Structure 1
Amino acid sequence: DVLPSGSWCERAPVAASTSLPDPAAEFDRNVPRICGVCGDKATGFHFNAMTCEGCKGFFRRSMKRKAMFTCPFNGDCKITKDNRRHCQACRLKRCVDIGMMKEFILTDEEVQRKREMILKRKEEEALKESLKPKLSEEQQKVIDILLEAHRKTYDPTYADFTKFRPPVRSTPGNKEAARYSSILTQDLPEDPIDLFGSDAFSAFPEPAEPQMLSNLVLEENDETASMNIGFSQLSMLPHLADLVSYSIQKVIGFAKMIPGFRDLAADDQIVLLKSSAIEVIMLRSNQSFTLEDMTWTCGSDDFKYRISDVTQAGHNMDLLEPLVKFQVGLKKLNLHEEEHVLLMAICILSPDRPGVQDTALVESLQDRLSEILQSYIRCRHPGPGSRLLYAKMIQKLTDLRSLNEEHSRQYRCLSFQPQHSMQLTPLVLEVFGNEIS
């Protein structure tokens, strides 16, 4: 057998059949590699001993020529890196003394076979690499743009949570809830900017640096939590309404950076954002979702959400059970960040949203992103199950449609009650179906 170039031995160990130890197997990689002949830096095991390239070549040439050397001195020269050329006899003797064996030297035929084998392997690797699917330069550019857009509009530390009305986790008779009664009845400040107005997309500021995205999706962790909290006890509604409103603004910022989105008419941009905003928020929230305790942790323990929290904002299990199932399923897909941002962009650019006028243009933009996602999976996401990954991701978008409908329905129920609609921001009311004047 012939070892490939760069192996520890010139020939596969005949030691296996002669009971000789395999020096490569016993080599301690933490020990400095020193040539046993001259003390120079060794490059590995050659002909059964650790040597430098110079002594390896010298031993091979000597054995092939069957050279006979005579020491001009007394036959016990000390061989060093500097004087190794002075006495060939003592140098060869030293080679034999440290265990170098002529049986390990390849014949000319074996050398030729080895070269052919190496060349063949390189050709096979080059062919394999050429046949491997690759992302085009244009596809990679789109992915890079989406990654940048996501990172500019999503801060996993949730540093801006202090800007929202505080979370109030109450139970019936909770005195702390009463202490925040003024929060539950206060009027919201008038929103100075209509984010969905005719000039919304030119007025919306581009973030100067990565900012936070507040994701509001909550999970059940406490089975004893009351599921019949009265509407008068919606202590978490102001806080969660603020987070949803803020998240919608961040989704707008992300959408504006999707290649081709701003080529759409303003009306179609508005329609797409209104209909997809909560779905994108649910997709983004998966980054803060934890399978271990089935909660969403947004920066600190004060903003760790469970099912009991969202029930105190007026939502019920018609939304929460499928939402939890969705989050668990999405988390288990182990998506790359690139796949995640592509899925969000595909979600936004859905041509079948009610009210879209230029469906052909929207569909072409979505098809382009879908092709990039499929190419990315083939090129960068190998392994078991990757063949079905794209189909599973698209199924998640179908699941989101049902979640969107139920979420909007429950928000509309809240908005029809004056004592609670005042807790919903103007942006939330507009996005979920109640136009404000």
Structure 2
Amino acid sequence: HVVKLGGWVEWRLAMQLLEMELMEARTLLPDPANEFDRNVPRICGVCGDKATGFHFNAMTCEGCKGFFRRSMKRKAMFTCPFNSDCKITKDNRRHCQACRLKRCVDIGMMKEFILTDEEVQRKREMITKRKEEEALKESMKPKLSEEQQRVIDILLEAHRKTYDPTYSDFTQFRVSSSSKRITRSSSVLTHGSSSEDSSDTFNCSLECVENRMFSNMALNEDSDRSPPMDINLSHLSMLPHLADLVSYSIQKVIGFAKMIPGFRDLTAEDQIALLKSSAIEIIMLRSNESFSLEDMAWSCGGNEFKYQIDDVTQAGHNLELLEPLVKFQVSLKKLNLHVEEHVLLMGICILSPDRPGLQDTSLVESLQDRLSEVLQTYILCKHPPPGNRLLYAKMIQKLADLRSLNEEHSKQYRCLSFKPEHSMQLTPLVLEVFGNEIS
């Protein structure tokens, strides 16, 4: 006799819930006995029909589950018309209730696991409450709004249009006679650009300011040809090539920036101020896609355009810039950013309200805040742990690192530009964007 005293009902309910959880776990975890074939169906231990789970401490079908419950609740007494050894199958299980009940007991079904109607109702209420709590918990999780997802989609499309992962245009950059790379006849900045690339110049709304500050964006062939061979640049053999690469990258950065939601709402002067001050930082961010942790080099389309530290030193930069640059690339790579996080970080970097020369800092700050909010929400929703731990803070720290790199780049660019034989190898666009650094 089972005495239902305080806690006994709760214990039985807990046992039933535990039984359900164990059943779910068994369906999720591989069964070593059936590991060779996970599609093997579960069989009812009473009649051999397809089982639906553990019921009253045994694996049974729904039919035998209901039969055992009814028999126990009615305290039924059955008699076998044969020899009490009937073989119970799916087809004949209704023929001999005595042997069927005996088989239920033999495989371990226990009447103690049968709940009363009140207990069944309480169990259902507990299950419903648990589902409601899980639904509430799920509803409280941050979610990307339609507007936030639209912003991400726009930035992804902007990046797709302005970043070529094949680096096919690199074959058209200038090289010196001592370089092993392919020599071109004219600059990629004047030939071979796609229709999408042609949009990388400012539109007519910026025309008046463009003529003054970005007048050299549409370069002519003569101004961008390789330098005369009688100029001695043996110690900076990579300068012409890297100058073309940077100039090409600036155009792509401009094209990306113009598609950032809200960027066109800024005045032409503020757009130019943001681009001139952030261009080299975005180039460094973009280059992380081609950076390899294996050899600490930038691989842009195979070994032909694989840039080592020595290559960049041959363009006039020293280790005071390159050492922290490589450390930055390594640490950024190890964050394993999603492409969505990468493009949002570039947008946040461009829309920095503390750039010199800005007029409407409040508008720039509001645009940057919107992208920052989208980035934080995306990390919470889409970036799984442990990679998301403090990820936003780490990404913002990268922007601070970029400022330091920008300052060092400006310092070294000034030294490079002081010498006419070197400044002659820079493209008009590079001179225009970084020209404010020349005294």
TM-score range, shorter chain: 0.7 to 0.9
Aligned residue type for 1:199: C
Please say if residues 8 and 45 of structure 1, whose CA atoms lie closer than 8 Å, have aligned partners that are also in contact.
Answer: no
Q: Which moved more, 1:42-51 or 1:157-166?
A: 157-166
1:32-47 alignment, distance < 5 Å: 32-47=41-56
What secondary structure, in the 3-state scheme, does the structure 2 residue paired with 1:50 have? strand
Q: CA deviation at 1:282?
A: 0.9
Q: 1:115 to 1:248 in 2, by over 3 A?
A: same
Distance 2:331 2:78 in 1: 76
Aligned position for 2:204: 199
How far apart in 2 are the matches of 1:233 and 1:200? 43
Distance 1:105 1:138, change over 3 A: same
Among the aligned pairs, what percent are the same residue? 78
Q: 1:263 aligns with which of 245, 252, 265?
A: 265
Letter in 2 for 1:312: Q
Contact 1:194-1:200 at 8 Å conserved across structures: no
Partner residue, 1:345: 347
* Deviation larger for 415-424 or 399-408: 415-424
Report the Cα distance in structure 1 between the residues aligned to 2:370 and 2:407, rounded to whole angstroms: 27
Separation in 1 of the partners of 2:267 and 2:304?
41
Are the aligned partners of 1:297 and 1:304 in contact in 2 as well (CA < 8 Å)? yes
* CA deviation map 1:82-120 (0-9, x unaligned): 443344334333333444333443455653443343233
How far apart are 1:418 and its partner, in Å?
A: 3.9
- Of 67, 73, 78 in structure 2, the residue corresponding to residue 64 of structure 1 is 73
Shift of residue 293, structure 1, vs aligned partner = 3.1
Match of 1:298 in 2: 300
In the alignment, structure 1 residue 7 sits paired with structure 2 residue 27: no
Partner of 1:37, secondary structure, is coil
Please state which structure has a larger fraction of its residues in helix.
2
Partner Cα distance (1:57, 1:27) in 2: 28
Separation in 1, partners of 2:179, 2:389: 54
Name the CA shift for 1:8/1:178 in 2 (closer, same or farther; >3 Å).
closer
Could you tell me how far 1:188 is from its partner in structure 2? 5.5
CA, structure 1 residues 114+179, in 2 after alignment: closer, same or farther (shift >3 Å)? Answer: closer
In structure 1, the residue matched to 2:314 is 312
| 1:242 to 1:310, Cα distance in 2 relative to 1, 3 A | same
Q: CA deviation at 1:27?
A: 6.8
- 2:62 paired residue number: 53
Matched, 1:84 2:93: yes
Instruction: Provide the C-alpha distance between the structure 2 equivalents of 1:351 and 1:9, rounded to a whole number of angstroms.
Output: 56
The answer to whether the 8 A contact 1:187-1:422 is kept is no
Given the alignment, which residue of 396, 399, 419 partners 1:397? Answer: 399
- Rate the CA distance shift 1:179–1:353 in 2: closer, same or farther, 3 A: closer
Q: 2:146 aligns with which of 137, 155, 158?
A: 137
How far apart are 1:44 and its partner, in Å?
2.3
The TM-score with structure 1 as length reference comes to 0.75
SS state at 1:42 partner: coil
**CA shift for structure 1 position 37:** 2.7
Change (3 A) 1:312 1:197: same
- RMSD in angstroms over aligned alpha carbons? 3.7
Distance 1:267 1:67, change over 3 A: same
Q: What is the total number of aligned residue pairs between the two structures?
A: 387
Q: Which residue type is aligned with residue 357 of structure 2?
A: G
Runs of at least 5 residues in structure 2 that lack an aligned partner in the other structure: 1-13, 24-29, 192-197, 208-231
* 1:261 positional shift: 1.0
CA distance in 1, matches of 2:334, 2:427: 34
Indicate the residue corresponding to 1:18 in structure 2: none
Tell me the secondary structure at the aligned position of residue 178 of structure 2: helix
Of the structure 1 ranges 232-241 and 361-370, higher mean CA displacement relative to structure 2 is found in 232-241
Q: Who is 1:377 aligned against?
A: 379
Residue of structure 1 in register with 2:329 after alignment: 327
Gap regions ≥5 residues in structure 1:
11-23, 169-175, 203-229
- Aligned partners of 1:190 and 1:164: how far apart in 2? 9
Alpha-carbon displacement from aligned partner over 1:235-293 (angstroms, at most 9, x marks no partner): 22233222222222221221122111112222322222222111111112222323343
Distance, in Å, in 2 between the alignment partners of 1:103 and 1:138 is 56
Per the TM alignment, residue 389 of structure 1 is displaced from its structure 2 partner at its CA by 3.5
| SS state at 1:272 partner | helix
